[in-house]
Structure 1
Amino acid sequence: MTVKLSISVPDDVAEYLQSQGNASAAVTAAVRRILPEERRARQRQAAQAYGRFLRERTSEQTEADRMLIESSNDIALRGTEW
């Protein structure tokens, strides 16, 4: 979800933001750097979601993933010989 905000900033900050391709992304990145606890909470939430995803996988899905990884490694290590 996103929220549109209108803010006033000093001239030097405005000049920097205007030079960025995506001012929203630049502001978001800067604010997130000063909000480490919120960032850690998001990272914990993502890790928990990934853990749930892995726990819900069947042994067949896990084996299929293992085979795909091994096949990809074989191709990368030996070239494109099938």
Structure 2
Amino acid sequence: MTVKLSISVPDDVAAYLQSSGNASATVTEAVRRVLPDARRHRRRAAARAFGEFVRSRTPEQAAADRDLIESSNDIALRDAAW
């Protein structure tokens, strides 16, 4: 699927895109090079937030979480043949 967009760019960028022959492919390639960095940044931020959350848990809350996980695993693995 493709979407047609209209954007404004500086003159030097416009000149480069016009000379490239296929501006859509050029822009797509450039943006795809940036996407992994943005994804990596979001994942790091999420991991940092989760780490802060886990560190803020009391020992009682952590024990309750472990009990819930173990119970869930027991339910999920019921009748499973290993």
TM-score, with structure 1 as normaliser:
0.51
Q: Can you list the C-alpha shifts for 1:18-62, whole angstroms capped at 9, x where unaligned?
A: xxxxxxxxxxxxx5x432222211111111111101100111111
- Higher Rg of the two aligned structures: 2
Q: Distance in 1 between matches of 2:5 and 2:53?
A: 39
Aligned equivalents of 2:6, 2:61: Cα separation in 1: 52
Give distance in 2, aligned partners of 1:78 and 1:42: 36
Q: Distance in 1 between matches of 2:43 and 2:70?
A: 29
2:53 and 2:33 map into 1 onto residues whose CA distance is: 30
Q: Which residue of 2 aligns with 1:7?
A: 5
Q: Which residue number in structure 1 is paired with residue 76 of structure 2?
A: 76
1:49 aligned residue: 49
RMSD: 2.6
> How many residues were matched structurally?
53
Identity of aligned residues (%): 60
Cα deviation, residue 69, structure 1: 0.9
Structure 1 stretch displaced more, 44-53 or 33-42 = 33-42
